[in-house]
Amino acid sequence: MKRVGIIGVGEYLPKRILTNADLEKMVDTSDEWITTRTGIKERHLAAKDEATSDLATKAAKEALKDARVNPKDLDLIIVATITPDMQFPATATFVQANLGAKKAICFDISAACAGFIYGICVAQQFIARDTCRNALVIGAEVLSSITDWKDRNTCVLFGDGAGACVMAEVKSGGILSTYLGSDGTKTDLLNLPAGGSRLPATPKTLKERMHYLKMQGNEVFKIAVTSMVGAGQEALKRAGLKCGDVNWIIPHQANSRIINAMAKRLGFVNAQVYLNIAKCGNMSSASTATALCEAVKEGKIKKGDIVLIDAFGAGLVWGAVIIKW
Ligand code: COA
């Protein structure tokens, strides 16, 4: 099988910023509560006329430029998202049209906060088996469109953004191991109840605010820690590495307490954890995608570094990937 790696990264964060002070005026909350319970200080929100594919396209253009790949030469576009432009067609097809990437195969992945990792794993298979020469993997969300701005339990947590990477065969380094997992018995913990075939939109579903994200935060918190620890351990085992070999962890940015607990339980002493949660909140699939991009662009991740990307999300789904940069 071919050795596959990431050859370019990009991100886009919408201009509008919503601070904790702004939220204090919208619901019964405080900057102190949000900061100590989550680590979030502010988040970016898409403009009214910005859809997920618009954010995705901007991140994609930056990643393609970084990778020096012409959109016309792209073979595959995967968008990981839970906030697609429309229920169908795939958001990836809108991105394809925006980029003029006429040759690319396009589809979306629904793996919530682990979506970017799922996308990387799928793209790796396409490239390693010679189905495609390259792939654009994007994690993009406009979570503000499914956030209940009257529910203080959830509205303080989320933000909008997009991160992207271009993948191709590499001569050295690249993906060392991957691990994905799912548990479909806990779909009730985190979901968007209405608008699908189970509960199509009616005046009643609208009135009952069922088109917004619902979450049992406490339960999700506990499972998030154990799932991310398990995913990290399995990916390390598959790569034949120990915690001490890892230079950077790019965790899903749901809650700084989840991230601290996970890093501690995994026993990371040398590795540094990259965080963008304070300025971005939880952007689901876009969290690991943007954090990876920022860590590279800021010169933190250097050639030869071992990077562990580790995430967990609704489904439940989880996954980890280890890459030698
Ligand atoms: N401001 C002020 N108080 C709030 C609040 C807010 N924004 N949101 C909830 N509260 C209150 C609750 O009503 C509760 O009050 P009560 O004790 O009077 O009932 C109290 O704070 C504690 O709530 P609890 O749910 O126990 O807090 P927590 O410490 O578990 O933190 C989350 C809540 C949501 C931050 C935390 O559970 C979490 O991060 N969960 C995982 C989220 C996640 O990872 N989601 C995505 C998965 S990828």
Give the pLDDT of residue 160: 98
Q: Is 226 exposed, middle or buried (0-12, 13-18, 19+ CB in 10 A)?
A: middle
Q: Can 165 be counted among the known catalytic residues?
A: no
> Would you tell me the crossing angle of helices 31-38 and 256-266 to the nearest 10 degrees?
20
Rounded mean pLDDT, 56-81: 98
For residue 222, report the distance from its CA to the centre of ligand 1, in Å. Answer: 12
Does residue 276 carry a catalytic annotation?
no
The Cα 318–Cα 180 span in angstroms is 6
- State residue 271's pLDDT score: 67
CA–CA separation, 32 vs 36, rounded Å?
Answer: 6
Mean pLDDT of 34-58: 98
Q: How far is the CA of 153 from the centre of ligand 1 (A)?
A: 6
Q: Residue 10's Cα: distance from chain center in Å?
A: 13
- 268 pLDDT band (50/70/90 cuts)? confident
H or E segment to which residue 214 belongs:
strand 214-215
pLDDT band at 270; cut points 50, 70, 90: low
Residue whose structure tokens are 């990009």: 10
Q: State the distance between the two ends of the chain, measured CA to CA, in whole angstroms.
A: 19
Beta bridge partners of 77: 106, 136
19 near 44, Cβ under 8 Å? Answer: no
Is 308 within 8 Å of 246 (Cβ atoms)?
Answer: yes
* Location of structure tokens 């999700």: 220
Helix boundaries (H) for 88-137: 91-99, 115-128
Q: What is the mean pLDDT of residues 281-304?
A: 97
Q: Predicted confidence band at 260 (pLDDT cuts at 50, 70, 90)?
A: very high
| DSSP annotation string for 138-206 | EEEEEGGGS--TT-HHHHTTB-EEEEEEEEEE-SS-EEEEEEEEE-GGGGGGEE--SSSSSS---HHHH
CA distance 163 to 137: 9
Assigned token pair, 69: 């790949």
Confidence check: pLDDT of 269 > 80: no
- What would the mean pLDDT of 231-243 be, rounded to a whole number? 96
38 lines ligand 1 (CB under 6 A): yes
Q: Give percent above pLDDT 90 in the chain.
A: 96
Domains of the chain: residue spans and CATH: 4-171 (3.40.47.10), 176-324 (3.40.47.10)
pLDDT at 267 over 90: no
Stretch 117-143: mean pLDDT: 97
Exactly one of 113, 132, 165, 293 is catalytic; which is it? 113
Distance of CA 236 to the CA centre of its chain: 20
Q: What average pLDDT does the chain have?
A: 96
221 lines ligand 1 (CB under 6 A): yes
User: What local confidence, expressed as pLDDT, does residue 1 receive?
Assistant: 80
* Residue 161 to residue 139: CA distance in whole angstroms: 8
Express each pLDDT in 96-116 by its tens digit. 999 999 999 999 999 999 999
Q: Which residues contact 170 (CB under 8 A, 6 or more apart)?
A: 3, 4, 5, 7
- CB neighbour class for 215 (10 Å; exposed up to 12, middle 13-18, buried from 19): middle
Q: How far apart are CA 124 and CA 4, in angstroms?
A: 6
Q: What pLDDT is attached to residue 310?
A: 97
268 lines ligand 1 (CB under 6 A): no
Mean pLDDT of 85-89: 97
255, 256, 262, best to mutate for ligand 1 pocket (most atoms within 8 Å of CB): 255
- Give the predicted TM-score (pTM) of the model: 0.96
Q: From CA 59, how far away is CA 53, in angstroms rounded? A: 10
Residue whose structure tokens are 């906030």: 83
- For residues 241 and 159, what is the distance between their CA atoms, to the nearest angstrom? 34
